[in-house]
Structure 1
Amino acid sequence: MSKMQSVRQQYSFEEIYQQYTPLVKRMLKRLHIHSNHDDFVQAGYLGLWLAYHHHDSEKGPFSSYAFVRVRGEMLTMLKKDASYYDQHSFSSTDPEPVQVAIDTDAWISDAENLAPYLKTLSKREQRWVIEHAVHDQAPRMIAAKYNVSVETVKGWRKGALAKLRKYVK
């Protein structure tokens, strides 16, 4: 038997939960997770629970193991999300990105107050605004949906924000 007590012998899970909540929240920022926060926080707490139950004090400190398990659960969820969007997005056998027409007029009728802002933007910038502001999608999700790179989506965002800033001033 180990000379060191296991974390389960020293603390209840509630104490670990309270102590490691900042780790779970920080991991969202560290992994650049911009949507579905509640789901990813839940995945982080699952990783913490798994670390609590499977930690072996002979192999290293609990804090390092908790970090790895929390990060691992969140990364697994990111991979599953990306895989889901890859399977459920438009695809093409051509190397060219898929061009998807967006019916912004139908969406604008529900939010008429955004119409003047959207009309100043290009179609691609409108895509970013609608996907991000309305559907709360992260750049990687938008990129998967439109079969473009994340950097391309960030370019749409940059252009849209620059134009919107000018419009607001």
Structure 2
Amino acid sequence: MEEFENIAEQYTPLIHHMIKRLNIYKDKEEFIQIGLIALWEASRAFDPAKGQFMSYAFLTIKGRMLSHIQKTNKIHHRETSKEIEMERANQDDELILTLEWLIPKAFLDTLTSNQSCWLTHHIQYGKTTAEIAADLHITVASVKSWKRTTIKKLQAYYRLHPESF
């Protein structure tokens, strides 16, 4: 155990250098711990016949830190996407209620959530396709597709039920 404590003391500047090099400014203590664990693993797995310990420790620490960054970014992206999706669903529900006085509920029930989203943002707020895409963090082509299919459905519904409007 004393042997690792000496190694940890000697290579702690390397861990701090790696944190600085990777531009890590949040959760530094967590990355110090990741670096120390990686250093311990490197000290256990090191084979002197294959090269210098400094190089092996450097690559091991860097690899563990990059893996952790990648994993946390993936989780953050997944959580953010879910939050945006939930927010959009809540907005859609509120906006559909305001559209029911203008468009028959039977027609609104045939729309997908994306089509309802386009219809409500366009009619309720008068937003353009580009504005809707920017608000929802999606491509303009996606919103254009929603618009196209919604208009086709609306035309077909009107042909079948002109008295509803």
Higher relative helix content:
2
TM-score of the aligned structures, taking structure 2 as reference length: 0.48
Higher relative contact order (CA 8 A, sep 6+): 1
Q: Which structure's CA Rg is the greater one?
A: 2
